[in-house]
């Protein structure tokens, strides 16, 4: 049986890092940490606002969180952090679809705000979602890190640590799009949309607590750059080292270059 205790625990700048034996232990531990933060936020202010990533890397974490019997989901207003432009509303690859099936459709939230990219100009949707985000201070962000070091869809070259916007349209770089094939979400690179709507890095960094769940060998190089490289938009996830209350959850595979 997998232990929820980390095999290694260390900090890099302000970022806490916990390494677990496998994905299951990582998911259980991350869910436990997020549950504790939900409880803390509920006691402090009543309602809780959360932002979720949608990716196979989050599977174990979301399974543990959704099945927890002690979480007052009815007090949580939920957002998700990105969405493709150009996919039909019922597409399996839509991040809204992913989160409905693994979390939003399994428990009763106070409210879930979905990104709804239109067929035409996405600017009004960016403005609508930014207005919803501006109305709250996110209590918790549950994110991952991409193979190219992105957080949400803030890829190297497009990431801006001082972005004045909360939500924007981005062109996805080739490595980001290829990851979607590696993850099994698309069968060919040509099927992966080239554009998306994403929350910006400042919007994510506003959160009081960030849980960053990053399992798998394909993420090892990104983890190394996040922890050992400069804090620079060339590796967008490196900004996590400056957050006052963030935790990076790794497994043995994703941590292999930093131990």
Tens digits of residue pLDDT in 76-96: 999 999 999 999 888 899 999
- The answer to whether residue 111 sits within a structural domain is yes
- The answer to whether residue 2 sits within a structural domain is no
Structure tokens at 224: 């190394």
- The domain total for the chain is 1
Q: Which residues make Cβ contacts (< 8 Å) with residue 256, sequence separation at least 6?
A: 217, 220
Range of the domain at 233: 15-251
- The answer to whether residue 205 sits within a structural domain is yes
- Residue 2 pLDDT exceeds 80: no
- The answer to whether residue 126 sits within a structural domain is yes
**Closest C-alpha among 146, 143, 144 to residue 221:** 146
- Give pLDDT, residue 196: 95
Owner of token pair 């959360």: 50
* DSSP label at residue 58: G
- The answer to whether residue 88 sits within a structural domain is yes
Can you give the CATH number for the domain in which 245 is found? 3.40.50.1360
Q: Could you tell me the pTM of the whole model?
A: 0.95
pLDDT, average across residues 183-189 = 90
- The answer to whether residue 6 sits within a structural domain is no
CB-based burial of residue 160 (10 Å sphere; 0-12 exposed, 13-18 middle, 19+ buried)? middle
Q: Which residues make Cβ contacts (< 8 Å) with residue 35, sequence separation at least 6?
A: 65, 68, 70, 71
CA distances from 203 to 32, 81, 132, 140 (A): 24, 9, 12, 12
Q: Which residue(s) pair with 214 in the sheet?
A: 250
Q: CA 99 to CA 53: how far, in whole Å?
A: 8
Q: pLDDT category, 3, cuts 50, 70, 90? A: low
Q: Which secondary-structure segment (H or E) carries 171?
A: strand 167-171
CB 80 within 8 A of CB 52: yes
Q: CA 189 to CA 35: how far, in whole Å?
A: 37
Tens digits of residue pLDDT in 191-202: 999 999 999 999
Tens digits of residue pLDDT in 32-61: 999 999 999 988 777 999 999 999 999 999
């Amino acid at each position: 049986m997998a232990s929820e205790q980390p095999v290694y625990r260390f900090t890099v700048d302000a970022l806490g890092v916990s390494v677990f034996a496998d994905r299951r232990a990582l998911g259980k531990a991350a869910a436990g940490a997020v549950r504790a933060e939900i409880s803390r936020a509920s006691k402090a202010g009543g309602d809780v606002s959360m932002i979720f990533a949608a990716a196979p890397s989050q599977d174990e974490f979301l399974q543990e969180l959704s099945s927890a019997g002690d979480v007052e989901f009815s007090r949580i207003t939920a957002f998700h952090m990105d969405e493709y432009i150009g996919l039909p509303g019922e597409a399996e690859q839509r991040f809204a679809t992913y989160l409905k099936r693994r979390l939003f459709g399994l428990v009763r939230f106070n409210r879930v705000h979905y990104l709804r990219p239109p067929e035409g100009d996405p600017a009004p949707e960016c403005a609508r979602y930014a207005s919803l985000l501006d109305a709250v201070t996110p209590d918790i962000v549950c994110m991952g890190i991409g193979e190219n070091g992105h957080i949400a869809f803030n890829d190297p070259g497009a990431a801006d640590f001082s972005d004045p916007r909360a939500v924007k349209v981005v062109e996805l770089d080739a490595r980001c799009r290829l990851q979607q094939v590696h993850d099994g979400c698309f069968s060919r690179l040509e099927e992966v949309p080239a554009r998306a709507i994403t929350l910006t890095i400042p919007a994510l960094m506003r959160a009081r607590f960030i849980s960053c769940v990053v399992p798998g060998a394909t993420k090892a190089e990104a983890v190394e750059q996040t922890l050992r490289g400069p804090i620079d938009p060339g590796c967008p996830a490196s900004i996590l080292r400056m957050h006052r209350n963030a935790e990076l959850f790794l497994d043995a595979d994703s941590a292999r270059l930093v131990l």
